[in-house]
């Protein structure tokens, strides 16, 4: 990327209308141009709602106003802009980046370099499982996030749209940073569904509202989030999704850098019915210790009898020592109202 194409606009901001998914309402955001990304933030709380990679940004309606952008050809998100300065800045950046993009014959997104012979060779050589594993390993972070958002949209069809009360969202962002640090996964709160917690491709963790609404503090919810992060590290969450999508969609992702959105349909329901992979106590305890969070509340919600989670209770790294609270009292009240209409 040419930094000179962005120097004039590094601190440029403008209002915009952001739609996270086609079925959701537009919401006002502040759009800020950085050296490598666009940041879309809530104008009231200044909480970042989405980050778009500048090289992936596409204009969906060239020559029309207001300008409509997306963070990729297959992305669900859209951004509507009518600020002429911001539009000119984005078009200048896109023109500069277009000059440096690979030639058309190169495979989109850098998923695979080579020609048709290599692609056909892979199709003939790899058994289905290996093809899925190989494709998952080649998908770049930006595409993973796009697939994760599409998966969340499908999940919302059976578990309801993620809760989005504004003050609750701001508290949820602070909760995520307390649990995971400066670069946390995206955490969403689901209204319905049978699963207490899930992890999706693109570093997304979903928590059931009951983990917040029925608890007196955030330790249990934090524990379920830590457990899902551990599962995502131990087994790539993109692999079961590609198994669901099928070989044709997987091969299309490998060769074109695009995953057919229709291939994701129904995966949300499947995800809700999956049995969570078991995790060794030492793996969980290490994460609780690193985060400064007691493992006892999580263990007791996971098994109220304590029989199957006795190891997490007895070896709780903070059973006797005070920890930095997961949330403030005010944030916990806001979080408990995140699903309010």
Residues 81 and 142 in one domain: no
User: Is there a domain that residue 117 lies in?
Assistant: no
Q: Same domain for 27 and 173? A: no
**Bridge partners (DSSP) listed for residue 27:** 18
Strand pairing class (204-208; 197-200): antiparallel
In a domain, 112, yes or no: no
**What span, in angstroms and rounded, lies between the C-alpha atoms of 334 and 341?**
13
Whether 17 maps to a domain, the answer reads yes
**Same-domain check for residues 191 and 299:** yes
Point out the domain boundary residue: 79, 98, 117: 98
* Mean of all residue pLDDT scores within the chain: 85
How many independent structural domains does the chain possess?
2
What pTM was computed for the model? Answer: 0.67
Q: What is the mean pLDDT of residues 251-269?
A: 91
**77 and 152 share a domain?**
no
Size of the chain, expressed as the number of residues it contains: 341
Average confidence (pLDDT) over 192-218: 94
Q: Do 17 and 142 belong together in one domain?
A: no
- Whether residue 120 is contained in a domain is answered as no
Q: Model confidence at 94, in pLDDT bands (50, 70, 90)?
A: confident
Residues 155 and 275 grouped into a single domain? yes
> Do 92 and 137 belong together in one domain?
no
pLDDT band at 73 (very low <50, low <70, confident <90, very high): confident
**E-strand spans in the chain?**
13-19, 27-33, 37-41, 48-53, 58-59, 67-70, 78-81, 186-190, 197-200, 204-208
pLDDT score at 186: 96
Residue 110 belongs to a domain: no
Q: Judging by beta carbons within 10 Å of its beta carbon (0-12, 13-18, 19+), is residue 13 exposed, middle or buried?
A: middle
Secondary structure (DSSP) of 85-125 = HHHHHHHHHHHHHHTTSPPTTSPGGGS--S-HHHHHHHHHH
Give residue 126's pLDDT: 46
Do residue 315 and residue 235 come from a single domain? yes
Give the range of the structural domain holding residue 219, as residue numbers without chain letter: 133-336
Alpha carbon distance 38, 32 (integer Å): 6
């Amino acid at each position: 990327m040419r930094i000179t194409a962005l120097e004039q606009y590094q601190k440029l901001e403008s209002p915009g209308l952001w739609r996270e998914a086609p079925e959701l309402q537009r919401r006002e955001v502040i759009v800020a141009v950085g050296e490598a990304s666009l940041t879309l933030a809530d104008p009231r709380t200044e909480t970042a709602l989405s980050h778009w990679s500048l090289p992936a940004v596409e204009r969906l309606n060239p020559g029309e106003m207001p300008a409509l952008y997306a963070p990729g050809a297959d992305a669900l998100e859209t951004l509507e802009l009518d600020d002429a300065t911001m539009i000119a800045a984005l078009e200048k950046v896109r023109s500069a980046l277009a000059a440096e993009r690979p030639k058309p014959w190169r495979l989109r997104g850098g998923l695979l370099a080579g020609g048709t012979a290599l692609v056909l060779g892979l199709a003939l050589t790899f058994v289905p499982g290996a093809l899925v594993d190989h494709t998952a390993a080649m998908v770049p972070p930006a595409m993973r996030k796009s697939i994760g958002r599409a998966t969340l949209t499908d999940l919302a069809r059976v578990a309801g749209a993620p809760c989005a009360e504004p003050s609750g969202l701001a508290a949820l962002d602070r909760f995520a940073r307390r649990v995971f640090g400066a670069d946390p996964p995206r955490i969403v709160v689901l209204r319905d569904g049978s699963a207490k917690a899930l992890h999706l491709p693109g570093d997304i963790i979903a928590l059931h509202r009951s983990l917040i609404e029925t608890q007196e503090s955030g330790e249990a919810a934090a524990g379920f989030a830590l457990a899902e992060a551990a599962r995502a590290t131990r087994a790539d969450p993109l692999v079961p999704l590609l198994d669901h999508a099928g070989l044709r969609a997987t091969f299309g992702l490998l060769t074109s850098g695009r995953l057919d959105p229709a291939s994701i349909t129904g995966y949300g329901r499947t995800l809700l019915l999956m049995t969570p992979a078991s995790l060794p106590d030492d793996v969980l305890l290490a994460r609780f210790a690193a985060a400064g969070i007691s493992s006892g509340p999580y263990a007791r919600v996971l098994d109220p009898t304590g029989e199957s989670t006795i190891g997490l209770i007895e070896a709780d790294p903070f059973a006797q020592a005070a920890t930095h609270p997961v949330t403030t009292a005010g944030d916990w009240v806001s979080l408990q109202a995140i699903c309010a209409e």
